[in-house]
Amino acid sequence: MSEPVLEIRDLRKSFNALKATDGVSLDLKPGQIHALIGPNGAGKSTLIHQIAGTLRADSGTIRFLGRDIGGLDMAARAQLGLARSFQISSLAQEFSALRNVMLAVQAKKGSSFRFFRQVAGDKSLIEPAMAMLERVGLAARAHVPAAELSHGERRQLEIAIALALSPKAFLFDEPMAGMGPEGSKQLTRFLDGLRHEAPMLLVEHDMDAVFALADRVSVLVYGRIVATGTVDEIRSDPEVRRAYLGEAA
């Protein structure tokens, strides 16, 4: 078995009496899409925030590419190659879609402490950024400010930004949220092709997407992982059916 890219051990985070993350351990292996499912309030986003560095864990370790990243801030983790999307789109609203992606290209290429060369004519930023927009099918909307994009387009833009970082792992927090059935299907196909670029930890409520994509599924309930396995194992696990899938499964 190959070494996990992302290795989480006994992670804990409490908000007062609420144990949002209660001893979570999880491995993300190369070439895999690892889905994280669970009912609302199970602590999925809190977990993503701790991995990305928005929140600091109370205890436990997060190792990324063999390195303990628990002490690093979000920017440093992103520089190591951890690209995330947000549950609620988080973009530079006044910038065009293109400039949002150019920012990621600029971050990837190195220093942002360049004060004179103008980005507006900088092909080394524009061309890779445009290529990413084309990949997610947003090229025609490249010059539209992020604030004026539709909800679905913003979700696509988040993905394009993550791609532009050419990361070592993706953290996607409900990328399908709020998308129509057609949009979800398209995005599912798209994400399917990404697993060979970098493994993906995917939080998603859309069960069709999860069952179509995931190599492994972990079920989070009240901050604990109650089951981990392949899609088939999870589907047939009686405890999971009771706790989460309910009648629907």
102 versus 221: smaller Cβ distance to another protein: 102
- The 3-state DSSP class for residue 169 equals strand
Handedness of CA 181, 172, 194, 149 (dihedral sign): positive
147 versus 249: smaller Cβ distance to another protein: 147
Contact 140, 198 (CB under 8 A): no
Q: Least separation, in Å, of the C-beta of 225 and another protein?
A: 25
75 versus 249: smaller Cβ distance to another protein: 75
CA distances from 70 to 11, 15, 46, 199, 220 (A): 10, 18, 15, 20, 21
Q: Least separation, in Å, of the C-beta of 96 and another protein?
A: 6
Q: Least separation, in Å, of the C-beta of 232 and another protein?
A: 34
State the Cα–Cα distance between residues 188 and 186, nearest whole angstrom: 5
83 versus 203: smaller Cβ distance to another protein: 83
Contact 175, 197 (CB under 8 A): no
109 versus 189: smaller Cβ distance to another protein: 109
Q: Least separation, in Å, of the C-beta of 75 and another protein?
A: 4
Q: Least separation, in Å, of the C-beta of 48 and another protein?
A: 12
Q: Least separation, in Å, of the C-beta of 111 and another protein?
A: 7
Site residues (CB under 8 A) for another protein?
Answer: 52-54, 73-76, 78-79, 83-84, 86, 90-96, 98-100, 102-104, 106-108, 111-120, 122, 125, 143, 145, 161, 164-165
Which of 109, 90, 115 is closest to 100 using CA atoms?
90
Which of 73, 64, 58 is closest to 23 using CA atoms?
58
Q: Least separation, in Å, of the C-beta of 47 and another protein?
A: 16
163 versus 240: smaller Cβ distance to another protein: 163
State the Cα–Cα distance between residues 91 and 113, nearest whole angstrom: 21
161 versus 176: smaller Cβ distance to another protein: 161
Which of 208, 202, 216, 152 is closest to 174 using CA atoms?
202
Helix axes of 151-164 and 181-194: crossing angle, nearest 10 degrees: 10
- Looking at residue 6, its amino acid is L
